[in-house]
Amino acid sequence: MFAQSLNMSYFINEYNRPTATFADRLLVLENVRDGEVTDAGEFYHDALKLLLQKIPDISSIEDWDATNASARIICHALGAERYAAAAPELWLVVENFDISRSFHQGFVNQGLVMQDALIALGQIGAAEYVPHIAQRLTDLNTRETSDVETRRRVQRAVAGSISALEDLKDPAGYKPIFFASTTTSWYDSAIKNIASLALPNIVEDPADIIIEIIRDTSVAPPVKYEAWRDMLSSRAPESSKARVAAAALSTGWSYPTSNQTYQRFLREMRVSAIDTIRVMGVADDSVYANLERSFNTSFVTPNPDYDEIRRTLNCLSAIASDEAVQLLLKFLRELHTRRESGPWGNRERQVFSWVIPSLGATKTQSEDVALLLNTIQRSRDYTGVEQSWAGDALRELGR
């Protein structure tokens, strides 16, 4: 076979020959590649070192094209052989062929060499370069351009960065890949899809990273909401999703904005977080204050948000903790006061019809709850139907 009979000494000498041109060295690399030689990592590594030394000697388009083609062959080979010792030189390739660098007039950087070098860094497991690759991707995320050709070249480097970070599976790579995946990202849909598919392969439980994104005041609500949805679809345990839900609910109320679109995203994140807390539990006590705010703010408004009110009540009744029962009791007391002294209208009666069965569903043994329900059941201030609601709740509580 050709691979077996290939005389590597001859090709090494030819590649290192002082009079060899860029085209000559490319021909050597093509012959070695086509010979399907295995265990040639050292050869390709040495070839890369020489290629980097010769970059300042590039003086023509032909030299430039040969250098690009040579670098790509070497990167592919080193990556395929998992040749870890070449990591420093592969990073130098990224730097020398960075899409943002300016070369001699007429030399067009297509981004392909940078892409291949980044992919190779991931393949060889160059974990020490994660911070550098993550920073490169962060920078690329902000380099929006309307020029079609520039956009195409930059996105090649983006794809290489994502591939490397996905292979290296370091949490530091999650954030820049997430921002590349968002609907507000300037990348084409194909790149966004690559980023979205990579996220679950980097870290199974991205809770701490997602919380940081959600709480970051510089991140717009649509992106916060996307981060929350990514958390829900992750393989993280329920306890982690509950932690992020607490942060999402809190941010849903604490982010100041008069932008109606932003307000809509914040509300969607809040109600989704409330539903998650109902199923997965309370991660910290901030949840109760924010559930109370969801109820009160949605109730005391010219246009009540009955959906958020109902979700909040369902959440509290499912939690059924002492704190949850006390909140439901507080809501009922406020409604009872309104029934006695006003105002009492359709809004109050509707919410009243939900609060009472929510308390019954908690199965609480609170005497305060039983006392108030008994009072409502006997009070002439209430209609027969309203009194029956209290009676049904008492029976559910075993009273």
Give per-residue pLDDT as tens, 312-370. 999 999 999 999 999 999 999 999 999 999 899 999 999 999 999 999 999 999 999 99
Helix and strand totals (H; E) in the chain: 21, 0
Look at residue 4 and tell me if it is in a domain: no
Do both 212 and 283 map to the same domain? yes
Task: Kindly calculate the radius of gyration of the chain based on its CA atoms and give it in whole angstroms.
Answer: 32
Q: Are 309 and 351 in contact (CB under 8 A)?
A: yes
Look at residue 368 and tell me if it is in a domain: yes
Do both 397 and 345 map to the same domain? yes
Look at residue 311 and tell me if it is in a domain: no
Q: Where does the chain show beta strands of DSSP type E?
A: none
CA distance 122 to 133: 10
Look at residue 227 and tell me if it is in a domain: yes
Look at residue 306 and tell me if it is in a domain: no
Peptide bond before residue 131 is cis, with ω within 30 degrees of 0: no
Q: What per-residue confidence (pLDDT) applies to 1?
A: 35
Look at residue 262 and tell me if it is in a domain: yes
CA distance 93 to 49: 10
Do both 210 and 249 map to the same domain? yes
Look at residue 357 and tell me if it is in a domain: yes
Do both 332 and 399 map to the same domain? yes
Do both 339 and 266 map to the same domain? no
Q: What residue has token string 């996905």?
A: 166
Q: What residue has token string 């032909």?
A: 62
Q: What per-residue confidence (pLDDT) applies to 36?
A: 79
Look at residue 252 and tell me if it is in a domain: yes
**List of the chain residues with pLDDT < 50:** 1-5
267 lies in which domain range? 204-290
CA distance 141 to 242: 30
The stretches of 82-129 forming alpha helices (DSSP H) are 87-96, 112-123
Domain tally, the chain: 2
